[in-house]
Structure 1
């Protein structure tokens, strides 16, 4: 009887230990699931240069795979226009500009979270033509009757237009072709002018040229003529989700994101 009692006691103890372990495990799983499900949903509003339209969506989709609580609302346009919108109180968590000057303006106005600004990628300017047209060997050929309209972004608000004007001015050709220039509201509208044949050529970022199968390089602008083009990004001080914004901003410089930018033709910062 004593042996039976001892055996029964041991079996009961093992059963109790197993039950407690199972309960503990179940509680841990419930806790983990609760923690994951309680992660606050965040929507980040990103004001970004028009030339980032394709690549940024790709970067964001990749980011969301590991940050399932984050979604994005994008506003694409000319960096100068976006800068003015932010100055006028437009909702934005992150400003991603195609020019440092627009970021400088917001920085000086105290509208950015201090120490969040960083250069993410670089780019170059390219002169494009419709795919079925022959290239030119010199920018001076823009003076010829072949080119009746040449598309360029408005230099006052479109970084690609400002950089193109800089190149044309330094090569002493801007004044002679100024009457042919058709100004676009952003770099993608310039691309559209050339794609649709409404302009015989135009100045865009190299990444925009790469995004279209309707245009090609009409003249390779030498590296020595290229302006310094960096794309800075920063968290806007009025952001409703500053921590999530900082996290995404850090990701933009990470190797995974940089590989995506490279795939789309963006370069390292200068």
Structure 2
């Protein structure tokens, strides 16, 4: 009797694991891990995708691309990864944690220096900042936040990194950088161009010369551990459609 109970338990667990991506109604559920800079935009994309694919439901999880990549590498049950920096996707490729043939770049971005609405500064490029009264600048942590990594590249290339390294406030994601600037906790911040559409409390000081940093591409891929690879691939294909690209452009991203 004990042996029968043990076999029944193991069988039940196996069946549950095999159906973990299916909801009670038979719909497939996909967990999408995405860079926090995509948050509001991806909510729109989710609605548009689900209206066309009523048998698939997306669950969205946002965070810094570096941390999400580490979670996937550690076995987090993610189906699709949307990164704000190709290097984190590259690392997953090396670890064979994504299906490499599904990898696709679906959006681009740029960088801007921003301030709160009540700040003013007459600068047009990063090299102007050392001569200005700039106390603190918020950027994402360069070790895990792509926007911070790109910001460090741009500040280094423009020759001002050493001037401001002690005046930088590191944040854990794009949203936190915005919050620091909105609240006035820092004078300025370096964020994505797309972030300008996410807040009415900040203003652009200037666009950062794109030659100062690597191109900002957003890659998407299906994870190697996904049990719904076909449906996950459908979502990635959707990101390349005219409808999805229009939503991305409306939110400040480039195709």
Is the 8 Å Cα contact of residues 111 and 207 (structure 2) preserved in structure 1? no
Q: Give CA-to-partner distance per residue, 1:156-210, whole Å, 9 cap, x none.
A: 0000000000000001100111010000001111111001101100011110122
| Pair 1:148-2:140 in alignment | no
Is the 8 Å Cα contact of residues 81 and 157 (structure 1) preserved in structure 2? yes
Q: Distance in 1 between matches of 2:137 and 2:129?
A: 8
The number of residues matched between the two structures is 231
Which of residues 227, 242, 249 is equivalent to 1:262? Answer: 249
Residue equivalent to 1:40: 26
Q: Distance in 2 between matches of 1:214 and 1:162?
A: 24
Is the 8 Å Cα contact of residues 124 and 226 (structure 1) preserved in structure 2? no
Superposition pairs of residues 1-270 of structure 1, within 5 angstroms: 40-137=26-123, 138-143=125-130, 146-268=133-255
The answer for unaligned runs of 5 or more in structure 2 is 1-23
The structure number with the bigger radius of gyration is 1
Q: Distance in 2 between matches of 1:237 and 1:224?
A: 34
Instruction: Decide which moves more: 216-225 or 119-128.
Output: 216-225
Aligned-partner SS, 1:47: strand
**How far did residue 39 of structure 1 move?**
8.1
**How far did residue 148 of structure 1 move?**
1.7
Is the 8 Å Cα contact of residues 191 and 209 (structure 1) preserved in structure 2? no
Aligned-partner SS, 2:113: strand
**How far did residue 240 of structure 1 move?**
1.9
Instruction: Decide which moves more: 213-222 or 90-99.
Output: 213-222
Q: Distance in 2 between matches of 1:135 and 1:252?
A: 38
**How far did residue 261 of structure 1 move?**
0.4
Is the 8 Å Cα contact of residues 135 and 219 (structure 1) preserved in structure 2? no
C-alpha RMSD of the superposition: 1.6
Aligned-partner SS, 1:65: helix
Residue equivalent to 1:26: none
The answer for unaligned runs of 5 or more in structure 1 is 1-37
Residue equivalent to 1:31: none
Aligned-partner SS, 2:224: coil
Query: TM-score with structure 1 length normalisation?
Result: 0.82
